[in-house]
Structure 1
Amino acid sequence: MPADAKPNDVTATPPTTARDPATEAAQPPAVAAPGVGPVPGSRPRRRWPLWAALVAAVLTLSGGIPAVLRAGGLSDGEVGEPATAASPTENPTTIAARQVAERISAQLDEQAAALLSGDRSGFLGIADPAARGDLRQRFAALRALRVTRWEARPSGLPTTAGKAGEWRLAVEFQYCFMVPDCRPSPLIVETRWRDGAEPRLLAFGRSKTAPSIGDRANGQPGSLPWEVSELATKTGKRTIVAAPPAYRHRLPGLLKRAEAAARVADEYAVTGVTPDRYRIFYAGPKEWKRWYGGDRPEWSAGYAINVGGGHYEVVLAPDSFDYGPGLDEVLRHELAHAATLPEKRDYSDGSTWWLVEGLAELAAVDGQPVARYAGLSDTRRLVKGDWDGKLDTIAPGEDTSDKAVTGSYGIAYLAARYFLDRFGAERLLAFAKVVLHDRRIPRQTSEEIFDETWASLHKECVAYIRSAVR
């Protein structure tokens, strides 16, 4: 389901029902997907839906600007605004804090350079020995994910930590994986330092769910996989897949399926620009409860979550491999969210849930006939039961029953299918762009794109849905 289903743009996959092999089909700040259809004894499928350890930025705070490190060296200081020179009457405590921030920035700069060059000793070197165990895990995970850009700057001034010579400092990190010149994802974490000519890192916090980062509309989704877990990875032309080492054996097969799903999802890029890489994480039971804050709906088999910078990451539930071919549907659904959803987390208030999930379901089924849609029976039950005939009221809640969730996804699928069959993919995607990215309501855009009023189109669409489930 879309971001509005969870506070951090998570879209999840709907519940599954007992699978009938004859009708089985292939399959946004975060989006959920519906169930894969009949799967004996399995849960619903999809849903959508940062830590940043040590990093690269020299903050020349004696009046200076934060300098930024990339894989090749210093950038033009694009992160942050120039600091003003200290006033002659500035509080001595503020002056001291600025000087501490400058020294810490130099340490973060050295650490970022070490991370990008693969120098683990240098990465750990700025930290107190007691803090190095956690940093080893983060270094290994970030290198496994092919980190290509790592930047850091103090977010505000440090404050005293209660002990003489110790300071707390919020640090903003920005990073890229695989692609050096990607739009970086931001993350703010709390750190603690012991001051000196070369400050020592005493503690490095984990990111926590937060509604915003500075003046950005995007928030933080909670602890990222690479902050809290060891990871093994495989990379392809369009995707990178990762899992805890215990599930390393699943990565080759997952990569092959992810690459196939990415080819379908690329066709749904509503802006014409596809994601630089699709990032897919397979979670074990422990990781499912920890990554991105945990706490996903019971019926979810996967989700896509907004991590900022225009990037969505996909997480697969521990039992997703039990779905057999249904896993391909989950992947197509979730990757379609990454291709269709905007950077802003407030793209939907629930009234456009049908469009978000309808597009993802179109990708999931990948051209199969409506009659073979796996959730058709649950959709029929909902349409002939409690549905009020309005597209903007079908978004399920976390307590919605599995069958009702599947039915809601089915209605969304049939609605999107109506527009696809009648107007074609080009106009459907243009409609999705203005509604989801440009935040224009359907009645403001339907005549411009479809040459008909929204009231007329909505009526015809609902009639099509009712006819499809007779």
Structure 2
Amino acid sequence: MEDPSYPGGPPPFVPHYGPQPPAWPPAFAPQPPPKRSHTTGILAALAAVLLAAAAAAVIFWPDRDETAKADAAGKPTRPATPFESALEALHRQAEALVKGDEKGWLAPVDPANKALVTRYRTMFTNLRSLEISHAEFHADKLEGGTAEKVVTQAALGYCFSGVSCPAWRNNYDEGPAKATYRVTFTLAGTTWRITEMNDAAGVEHNYLQPAPWDNRELTFVKGKRVIVAGPRSQAKRLKQVLALSEKAAQVTDKYAGFVNNAQRRYRVYLADEAGWKKWYGGIDQKWVIGYEMPLNATGGDVILRAKASADSRQLAVTVQHELTHVVTLAGGHWENTDDQWLVEGIAEYIGALPRGPQNTGNHDVLSESFRRRGEPKTIAVPPLSDDADDLTVNTLYAMGHYATACMADKFGEQKLMQFTDLVLRAAKKPDEASRTAYGKPFATVDKACLSWIRDRV
């Protein structure tokens, strides 16, 4: 997995992908740019807490010559600079967003710029429907300002559904999830107005942009555990996706409990083709039908491709696979793509439940793989290269499915989840995790599971 830094490197996550279809598609999940989890096409589903009081604030470090000095009584000795005035406006916006105050959120936006007002109103409506519970703006002053104009790079940090929001970090892959914009303020009389907001500058390496909620009106349905959203064109399908997602959440909640990673809410987006090509940078692989995008330590978003999700059985497996990525990756420190077999394997295992691997397309995949290429020498199948062929991709998912099923059979699901959590969220090597969870070196487990798999394929 790449370890990009802000603001210049590649994304900090790894998506999870899956293979091309065997006779009956198994479920897959995605692999890397940040740590994205995807669900594969015909092969089924690929892909990837304390209750905090809602809070909003703007933290900034203005240039020393712009910092207002205070006298002994604590009163500033000079008026706020234009930059400080812009920051204060952002601060009030963040507070209004969390409070549900649309008027306050729109207050600094130039009312004469109808398109800009519409964009800000859309952001507000979508974020409120997603249960935003924390918002904070951080900003830097950019060149191009004048006595009557301030140009800033403003980063909106956000968290949803009352999760414990992490402290701010300047990296995109740390702290709260972020969306960064070039925001221009212009003096109108005595009031500083936002006259331009552009997300094309300074954010090309933020893998969390464009987010589904940004600059597009969405329709929402909510259940007890899941929020499902999509464009109006998908409105009629949202209830079906919600029903499947609520059922999947009951399964994944159980396994989240095993690793103490309970989710406040799950979010699932049903993307039309425009959203699929754009949201979170878009997906080019034709065989991917869904993926999971981690929002740092605060959970993850599941994106489903509406065009490829017509089959309800496959859709159910895909959703359950992707929600598994949320609970097995969120808040962790997984950085080793050598563990891709486990990332996808545990999602295949939980995603296919109550069916075992022998009752899915993964059985056919391994039968063909063993016949054509021989049996793997380890359950820790090497990670996929960018040019991996269909059978190689399918084999990684299938072997991961059988390997996790073997460990569950031999040691129980709780120990399987402990092993998984140690590797994927605590960044332990498989051998250390195996000795801790199973009381045996990984080489011993590996050998036993290869035999277990051979007997069943």
- Where 2:191 maps in the other structure, the secondary structure is coil
Mapped to 2, the partners of 1:369 and 1:151 lie a distance apart of 45
Correspondence 1:179 to 2:162: yes
Correspondence 1:103 to 2:85: yes
Q: Once the 2 structures are TM-superposed, how far is the Cα of residue 452 of structure 1 from its aligned partner?
A: 1.9
The answer on whether the counterparts of 1:144 and 1:231 sit within 8 Å (CA) in structure 2 is no
The answer on whether the counterparts of 1:152 and 1:173 sit within 8 Å (CA) in structure 2 is yes
Mapped to 2, the partners of 1:430 and 1:189 lie a distance apart of 37
Mapped to 2, the partners of 1:142 and 1:306 lie a distance apart of 17
Correspondence 1:204 to 2:204: no
Structure 1's 285 and 457: CA in aligned 2 closer, same or farther, altered over 3 A? same
Q: Once the 2 structures are TM-superposed, how far is the Cα of residue 226 of structure 1 from its aligned partner?
A: 0.7
Correspondence 1:222 to 2:213: no
The corresponding residue for 1:146 is 131
The corresponding residue for 2:235 is 248
Mapped to 1, the partners of 2:421 and 2:248 lie a distance apart of 21
The corresponding residue for 1:404 is 392
Structure 1's 180 and 324: CA in aligned 2 closer, same or farther, altered over 3 A? closer
The one-letter code sitting in structure 2 at the alignment partner of 1:120 is E
What does 1:55-454 correspond to in 2, within 5 Å? 80=59, 99-128=81-110, 129-130=112-113, 131-154=116-139, 156=140, 158-161=141-144, 165-179=148-162, 183=166, 185-196=176-187, 197-206=190-199, 220-269=207-256, 270-344=258-332, 347-386=334-373, 388-454=376-442
The one-letter code sitting in structure 2 at the alignment partner of 1:466 is R
Mapped to 1, the partners of 2:65 and 2:106 lie a distance apart of 32
Mapped to 1, the partners of 2:359 and 2:79 lie a distance apart of 65
What does 1:14-33 correspond to in 2, within 5 Å? 14-15=18-19, 17=21, 29-32=34-37
Q: Once the 2 structures are TM-superposed, how far is the Cα of residue 142 of structure 1 from its aligned partner?
A: 1.8
Structure 1's 195 and 186: CA in aligned 2 closer, same or farther, altered over 3 A? same
Mapped to 1, the partners of 2:268 and 2:85 lie a distance apart of 37
Q: Once the 2 structures are TM-superposed, how far is the Cα of residue 406 of structure 1 from its aligned partner?
A: 2.3
Structure 1's 147 and 342: CA in aligned 2 closer, same or farther, altered over 3 A? closer
The one-letter code sitting in structure 2 at the alignment partner of 1:464 is W
Structure 1's 47 and 222: CA in aligned 2 closer, same or farther, altered over 3 A? farther
The corresponding residue for 2:16 is 12
Identity %, equivalent residues: 24
- Where 2:427 maps in the other structure, the secondary structure is coil
Q: Once the 2 structures are TM-superposed, how far is the Cα of residue 111 of structure 1 from its aligned partner?
A: 2.3
- Where 1:194 maps in the other structure, the secondary structure is strand
The corresponding residue for 1:64 is none
The one-letter code sitting in structure 2 at the alignment partner of 1:453 is P
Structure 1's 284 and 355: CA in aligned 2 closer, same or farther, altered over 3 A? same
The one-letter code sitting in structure 1 at the alignment partner of 2:401 is Y
Give CA deviations for 1:66-117 in whole Å, capped at 9, x if unaligned.
Answer: xxx975xx66x6x7587796599x9xxxxx9983332112212332344344
The one-letter code sitting in structure 2 at the alignment partner of 1:201 is I
The one-letter code sitting in structure 2 at the alignment partner of 1:192 is V
The answer on whether the counterparts of 2:151 and 2:185 sit within 8 Å (CA) in structure 1 is no
Q: Once the 2 structures are TM-superposed, how far is the Cα of residue 282 of structure 1 from its aligned partner?
A: 0.6
Question: What's the RMSD between the two structures over aligned residues?
Answer: 3.5
The answer on whether the counterparts of 1:10 and 1:30 sit within 8 Å (CA) in structure 2 is yes
Q: Once the 2 structures are TM-superposed, how far is the Cα of residue 443 of structure 1 from its aligned partner?
A: 1.7
Structure 1's 390 and 350: CA in aligned 2 closer, same or farther, altered over 3 A? farther
Mapped to 1, the partners of 2:433 and 2:126 lie a distance apart of 45
Q: Once the 2 structures are TM-superposed, how far is the Cα of residue 311 of structure 1 from its aligned partner?
A: 1.6
Structure 1's 3 and 204: CA in aligned 2 closer, same or farther, altered over 3 A? same
Give CA deviations for 1:204-262 in whole Å, capped at 9, x if unaligned.
Answer: 23387666xxxxxxx64221001132111111111111011111111111111111001
Structure 1's 124 and 281: CA in aligned 2 closer, same or farther, altered over 3 A? same
Mapped to 2, the partners of 1:210 and 1:125 lie a distance apart of 29
Q: Once the 2 structures are TM-superposed, how far is the Cα of residue 152 of structure 1 from its aligned partner?
A: 1.6
Q: Once the 2 structures are TM-superposed, how far is the Cα of residue 453 of structure 1 from its aligned partner?
A: 1.9
Structure 1's 306 and 169: CA in aligned 2 closer, same or farther, altered over 3 A? same
The answer on whether the counterparts of 1:342 and 1:436 sit within 8 Å (CA) in structure 2 is no
Mapped to 2, the partners of 1:305 and 1:272 lie a distance apart of 20
Q: Once the 2 structures are TM-superposed, how far is the Cα of residue 284 of structure 1 from its aligned partner?
A: 0.3
Point out where structure 2 has 5 or more consecutive residues left out of the alignment: 4-9, 70-77, 167-174
- Where 2:444 maps in the other structure, the secondary structure is helix
- Where 1:226 maps in the other structure, the secondary structure is coil
Q: TM-score, normalised by structure 1?
A: 0.79
Give CA deviations for 1:53-76 in whole Å, capped at 9, x if unaligned.
Answer: xxxxxxxxxxxxxxxx975xx66x
The one-letter code sitting in structure 2 at the alignment partner of 1:17 is P
Q: Once the 2 structures are TM-superposed, how far is the Cα of residue 294 of structure 1 from its aligned partner?
A: 0.6
Q: Once the 2 structures are TM-superposed, how far is the Cα of residue 141 of structure 1 from its aligned partner?
A: 1.8
Mapped to 2, the partners of 1:278 and 1:135 lie a distance apart of 25
The answer on whether the counterparts of 1:14 and 1:406 sit within 8 Å (CA) in structure 2 is yes
Mapped to 2, the partners of 1:125 and 1:171 lie a distance apart of 17
- Where 1:193 maps in the other structure, the secondary structure is strand
Moved more, 256-265 or 168-177: 168-177
Mapped to 2, the partners of 1:161 and 1:84 lie a distance apart of 16
Structure 1's 254 and 138: CA in aligned 2 closer, same or farther, altered over 3 A? same
The one-letter code sitting in structure 1 at the alignment partner of 2:251 is V
- Where 2:301 maps in the other structure, the secondary structure is strand
The answer on whether the counterparts of 1:185 and 1:309 sit within 8 Å (CA) in structure 2 is yes
Moved more, 370-379 or 253-262: 370-379
